[in-house]
Chain A
Amino acid sequence: MRNLYLFFRKHYFIFLFLLLEVVSLIFFFRHNKFQNAVMYDWTSAISGRVNNTYNSIAEYLYLRRTNFILGEENAKLHARMPQAIYLADTQIYIRNDTIMQSEYRFINAKVISNTTNRRNNYMMINKGIMHGIEPHMGIIAGDKIVGQVVSVSRHFSWIMSVLHKEVKISAKFLKNNQLVSVEWHGGDYQIGVVKEIPKHLIVSAGDSIITSGNSEIFPEGILVGTIKQVKEHQDENFNTATICFLTDFNGLGYIEVVLDMFKEEKTNLKASFQEL
């Protein structure tokens, strides 16, 4: 026993080192499972406040651009107003609740911290459980894709941006609805990779990629990007392509959280199928 004690005393430096490394690595690898944990709540309360302060200062520097974006957004919304549309058939505006139930709702929020230079990028927004945000909700900016909620505290939420190792977007071609998936392989934050393009598809640069709506995270038709360059693989079943993201990940200001009103119903349906 005494020898054991002496042994530990002699090599305490290495043991302490190993202990701290193991603790760090446990933190690191369990991070995604930490959602809603108590610890998360207080750490984000501190870092959220600091980020908020930083952001409220930095916001002044971007006022001009924010104004511009809001103006643009306004113009787009005006174009959608009934007054702006030529009424060819008035019947289209009769709202029957049983037919036209809204499937998605959107919560407006502000990005208060954001990165694009890591391999796995996250951002924090200034809304949380209080505002009805839950993990796995999608995040969009206007009509462009941004990311997905990974964890929420009372006032803040952490978003896993599309620029993340774990993200795989279920997407499709705008022109022919063919399903593909989009990932980001690091490096330039404006360039992603489109995978699983069927061989027979004729793809050309500039083709638009939108979300498929298959994932329960994003509604159908959210813009992902445009094809930049196609790579043909002779010995594989699918081609790949590079894609230019349409989202300006480095300049995100205000974003919207997507609430799928039928999410519960969809997951229940899936669960009941798996039980069979």
Chain B
Amino acid sequence: MTNLVSRNIVRFFFLILFQVLILNHINLGGYTNPYIYVYFILLLPFATPRWLLLILAFIMGLSIDLFSNTPGLNAAATVLMAFFRPFVIRAVSNIPEEELGIQPSMRILGFKWFLSYATILVLIHNFALFYLEIFRFAEFFQTLLRVILSAVFTLGLILLSELMFYGRSKK
């Protein structure tokens, strides 16, 4: 239990630093970058109380905002994503709750489960983030391209790290 909590705390700080110091400086296609920090929300244990889920998402988003001078932008998108997480978990899985394991992981739940779970949530997050940022429909398709590009790269990074820690995760 303590192990699980401390692992999540370490992951929280690691992902913030990774996002702020490295990914925020990467330009993909000239005008977007991956948002790996949502991986933290994806990996929270199934047993996390729902209020804690929202609060953690809020803190995570605000921390990223602090470093990119967009107060509230990442927080709003991340809270929205965390709100949808319980519903998405229920929607994508035919697996009974007691067999879900401790936290979402590709090893236990399979590639297809994890991919659809992550894709839906990352898309929700990116949609909210990019459309809130421009807050107008004039550049609709251009923004859509940014959403998709960013989601593809974010998912790529998430799947890559899932594969890297494949052997380490225990049931």
Residues of A bordering B, CB below 8 Å? 12-13, 16-17, 20-21, 23-29, 31, 34, 43, 46-47, 50-51, 54, 113, 115-120, 122, 124, 158, 165, 185-189, 250
Measured between beta carbons, the chain B residues less than 8 angstroms from A21 are: 76, 79-80
Q: Using CB atoms, name the residue of chain B closest to A57.
A: B21
20 sampled A-B residue pairs with Cβ under 8 A: A17-B79, A17-B83, A23-B72, A24-B61, A24-B73, A24-B75, A25-B76, A28-B70, A28-B73, A28-B132, A29-B72, A31-B72, A47-B67, A50-B20, A119-B130, A119-B134, A119-B143, A120-B70, A186-B139, A188-B30
How near does chain A come to B89, taking the closest CB pair, in angstroms? 14
Measured between beta carbons, the chain B residues less than 8 angstroms from A46 are: 66
Measured between beta carbons, the chain B residues less than 8 angstroms from A34 are: 71
How near does chain A come to B49, taking the closest CB pair, in angstroms? 10
Bound Cα distance from A23 to B132, whole angstroms: 14
Measured between beta carbons, the chain B residues less than 8 angstroms from A29 are: 72
Bound Cα distance from A27 to B30, whole angstroms: 28
Q: Given A21-B76, A118-B133, A186-B31 in contact, is the A124-B71 Cβ separation under 8 Å? A: no
Please classify how large the interface on chain B is, using the bins under 10, 10 to 19, 20 to 34, 35 or more.
35 or more
Are B67's CB and A188's CB within 8 A? no
Measured between beta carbons, the chain A residues less than 8 angstroms from B71 are: 27-28, 31, 34
Bound Cα distance from A186 to B139, whole angstroms: 8
Q: Using CB atoms, name the residue of chain B closest to A12.
A: B51
DSSP majority for the B interface? helix
Are A120's CB and B54's CB within 8 A? no
How near does chain A come to B12, taking the closest CB pair, in angstroms? 16
Bound Cα distance from A25 to B129, whole angstroms: 12
Q: Is B27 in contact with chain A by the CB < 8 A criterion? A: yes
Bound Cα distance from A26 to B62, whole angstroms: 13
Are B134's CB and A165's CB within 8 A? yes
Q: Using CB atoms, name the residue of chain A closest to B78.
A: A24
Measured between beta carbons, the chain A residues less than 8 angstroms from B154 are: none
3 shortest interchain CB distances as A-B pairs: A27-B72, A28-B72, A24-B76
Are A27's CB and B20's CB within 8 A? no
Are B27's CB and A185's CB within 8 A? no
Are A119's CB and B27's CB within 8 A? no
| Pick from B51, B69, B142: contact of A186, CB under 8 Å | B142
Measured between beta carbons, the chain B residues less than 8 angstroms from A165 are: 134
Measured between beta carbons, the chain A residues less than 8 angstroms from B58 are: 20, 23-24
Are B133's CB and A120's CB within 8 A? yes
Bound Cα distance from A116 to B20, whole angstroms: 15
Can you add 14 more A-B contacts, CB < 8 Å, to A21-B76, A24-B73, A117-B32? A13-B51, A20-B57, A20-B75, A20-B79, A21-B79, A28-B70, A28-B71, A50-B20, A117-B28, A118-B31, A119-B134, A120-B70, A165-B134, A186-B139
Bound Cα distance from A113 to B32, whole angstroms: 16
Measured between beta carbons, the chain B residues less than 8 angstroms from A43 are: 66
Bound Cα distance from A134 to B65, whole angstroms: 23
| Pick from A23, A50, A189: contact of B67, CB under 8 Å | A50
Q: Using CB atoms, name the residue of chain A closest to B21.
A: A54
Measured between beta carbons, the chain B residues less than 8 angstroms from A116 are: 27, 31
Q: Using CB atoms, name the residue of chain B closest to A22.
A: B76
How near does chain B come to A158, taking the closest CB pair, in angstroms? 6
Bound Cα distance from A250 to B28, whole angstroms: 13
Measured between beta carbons, the chain A residues less than 8 angstroms from B142 are: 186-187
- Bitwise interface map of B from 9 to 49 toward A, beta carbon under 8 Å scored 1, else 0: 00000000000110010011011110000000000000000
Bound Cα distance from A21 to B133, whole angstroms: 15
Q: Using CB atoms, name the residue of chain B closest to A250.
A: B27
Measured between beta carbons, the chain B residues less than 8 angstroms from A26 are: 72
Are A122's CB and B31's CB within 8 A? no
> Most chain-A Cβ atoms within 10 A of its Cβ — which of B32, B54, B69, B80?
B69
Q: Using CB atoms, name the residue of chain A closest to B24.
A: A115
Q: Is B68 in contact with chain A by the CB < 8 A criterion? A: yes
Bound Cα distance from A31 to B76, whole angstroms: 14
How near does chain B come to A79, taking the closest CB pair, in angstroms? 35
Q: Is B50 in contact with chain A by the CB < 8 A criterion? A: yes
Are A47's CB and B79's CB within 8 A? no
Q: Using CB atoms, name the residue of chain B closest to A118.
A: B133
